[in-house]
Amino acid sequence: MTEKFVFHPAHERGHVNHGWLNARHSFSFASWQNPQKVHFGALRVLNDDIVAPGMGFGTHPHDNMEIITIPLKGELEHKDSMGNIGRISENEIQMMSAGSGITHSEYNPNADREVNLLQIWIFPLVRNITPRYNQVRLNPEDRKNKFQQVISPDGNPVGMNINQRAFFQLADMQPGTALSYTIQINGNGLYAFLIEGAVTINNQHQLGKRDALGIWDINELHVQATEEAHLLLMELPMVF
């Protein structure tokens, strides 16, 4: 099997700055459209958002999308039509299955600091399910120089189950650390998004801060940290 890959350097991401929102898009989103970057398999959206103090996204609808929010810095407050109200911050993760349809709002509740977050949309496995919401606090010790599985179809081990044949891993790696990851569902691909630092993947792909690599037709992936690194690795279907 010969691996196939696509490299998405950080500087090629879409960029919009509305003042209250400074956003970078890995895939076509809103006013930024790139026909070469519409999705990677079931991964439809990967937005790197910075929201100004006291600002946010007003109430808006979603349906038939798995929506994952990972705060990198600061806090985000969420309200939705299912009655959920809560805040998430660094070392927490939030997921909604929009299913048959929901409305929600997200905003920065703090008047003195920004919030930086990743928002990720995944096409669902089953459409029009009953909407659901979950958020969990993660133990950062569980990803020191190893993969911490934070999302999976069955929710193991942290209780975040996704309506798709997808798995999310986080890893905090010290320089010189090497990790290996084996594909859990045959035919899935991998999308590695480097949040911070520098790594080499499969001895040939060099990633720096906010670079990404999509790779498929492989069984295993090897990561070597050349600097202190914070990595998000998503395994997901290439055909859905």
Within 8 A by CB and 6+ apart from 219, the residues are 1, 182, 183
State the pLDDT confidence band at 2, using cuts at 50, 70 and 90: confident
Measure Cα distances from 11 to 19, 147, 210, 211 in Å: 20, 27, 9, 8
The answer on pLDDT for 158 being more than 90 is yes
pLDDT in tens, 73-102: 999 999 999 999 999 999 999 999 999 999
Q: Are 93 and 138 in contact (CB under 8 A)?
A: yes
Note if the pTM is more than 0.85.
Answer: yes
Mean pLDDT of 194-213: 98
For residues 159-173, average pLDDT: 98
pLDDT on residue 240: 85
Q: What residues contact residue 12 under an 8 Å CB cut-off, 6+ apart?
A: none
* Residues in contact with 18: Cβ distance below 8 Å, sequence separation at least 6, in sequence order: none
214 Cβ contact partners less than 8 Å away, ≥ 6 residues apart:
5, 6, 8, 40, 41, 189, 190, 191, 192
- Give the span between the Cα atoms of 8 and 18, in whole angstroms: 24
Average pLDDT, the chain: 97
Q: Tell me: the pLDDT tens digits for 36-63? A: 999 999 999 999 999 999 999 999 999 9
- Domains of the chain, start order: 13-137 (2.60.120.10), 140-237 (2.60.120.10)
Q: What is the pLDDT of residue 104?
A: 97
Give yes or no for residue 1 having a pLDDT over 80: no
Sign of CA dihedral 231, 238, 40, 108: negative
